[in-house]
């Protein structure tokens, strides 16, 4: 059996984790600490948005009767995946997605912002367009992800890209780290926290690459 390489594509949760505008930033508060004599225990309290760091958007995030995180079948968190390398800052439409080897049931991961620092003053991040979302719907994929805080631009407050994807049973994973990942085929493992009635949840995202 061939050996596998595991690549972590998750954004760490710490004081440097970027947050979507208006969303709660991640904070970790020390409740108890081991003293100098080694007595006691370490304990901390976490506060964050359901959409902090690398996270999954469930259909309930934008659809009134959409499934919540806990209602999604666990098998969907392990998926064949294709990482697609795209020019930084370019809107991602159907033309950019055609002939990229996308298969039915794939998790399509868009490496579209690898040259950006993630800071607001480094330009608008590349995002999926509505025709790009429609193309992915036509391919019947499992999930789409991007190396940005959101899969779509904030130009339209009605969030048509999210809704087109989620209405067609395509899950969304945002906040990926793909700078160190080459284009190609992998297996994605991206299990969110099991939040009852959750509209979304942070996830640890790993790519498995056959050697």
pLDDT, tens digit, 9 for 90 and up, residues 137-167: 999 999 999 999 999 998 889 999 999 999 9
Q: How many CB atoms lie within 10 A of CB 82?
A: 19
Instruction: Count Cβ neighbours within 10 Å for each residue of 173-210 and write b for 16 or more, e otherwise.
Output: bbbbbbeebeeeebbbbbebeebeebbbbbbebbbebe
Q: Could you give the residue numbers annotated as active site?
A: 61
Q: Please tell us whether the domain made up of 4-12+50-210 is placed in CATH 3.30.1330.50.
A: no
Question: Is a pLDDT exceeding 70 seen at residue 35?
Answer: yes
pLDDT, tens digit, 9 for 90 and up, residues 40-77: 999 999 999 999 999 999 999 999 999 999 999 999 99
Distance, CA of 174 to CA of 146 (rounded, Å): 5
Distance, CA of 76 to CA of 1 (rounded, Å): 25
pTM comes to: 0.93
What percent of the chain is modeled with pLDDT above 90? 86
């Amino acid at each position: 059996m061939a050996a596998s390489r595991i690549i972590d594509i998750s954004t760490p949760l710490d004081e440097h984790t970027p947050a979507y505008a208006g969303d709660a930033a991640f904070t970790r508060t020390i409740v108890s600490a081991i003293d100098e004599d080694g007595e006691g225990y370490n304990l901390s309290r976490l506060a964050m948005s359901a959409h902090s760091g690398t996270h999954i958007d469930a259909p309930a995030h934008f659809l009134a009767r959409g499934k919540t995180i806990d209602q999604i079948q666990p098998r969907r968190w392990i998926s064949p995946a294709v990482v697609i390398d795209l020019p930084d800052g370019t809107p991602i439409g159907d033309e950019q997605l055609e002939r990229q080897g996308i298969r039915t049931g794939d998790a399509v991961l868009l490496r579209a912002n690898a040259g950006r620092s993630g800071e607001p003053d480094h330009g608008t991040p590349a995002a999926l367009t509505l025709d790009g979302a429609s193309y992915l719907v036509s391919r019947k994929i499992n999930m789409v992800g991007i190396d940005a805080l959101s899969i779509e631009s904030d130009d339209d407050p009605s969030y048509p890209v999210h809704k087109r994807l989620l209405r067609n049973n395509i899950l969304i994973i945002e906040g990926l780290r793909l700078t160190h990942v080459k284009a190609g085929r992998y297996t994605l493992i991206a299990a969110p926290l099991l939040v009852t009635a959750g509209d979304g949840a942070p996830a640890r995202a790993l790519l498995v690459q056959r050697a």
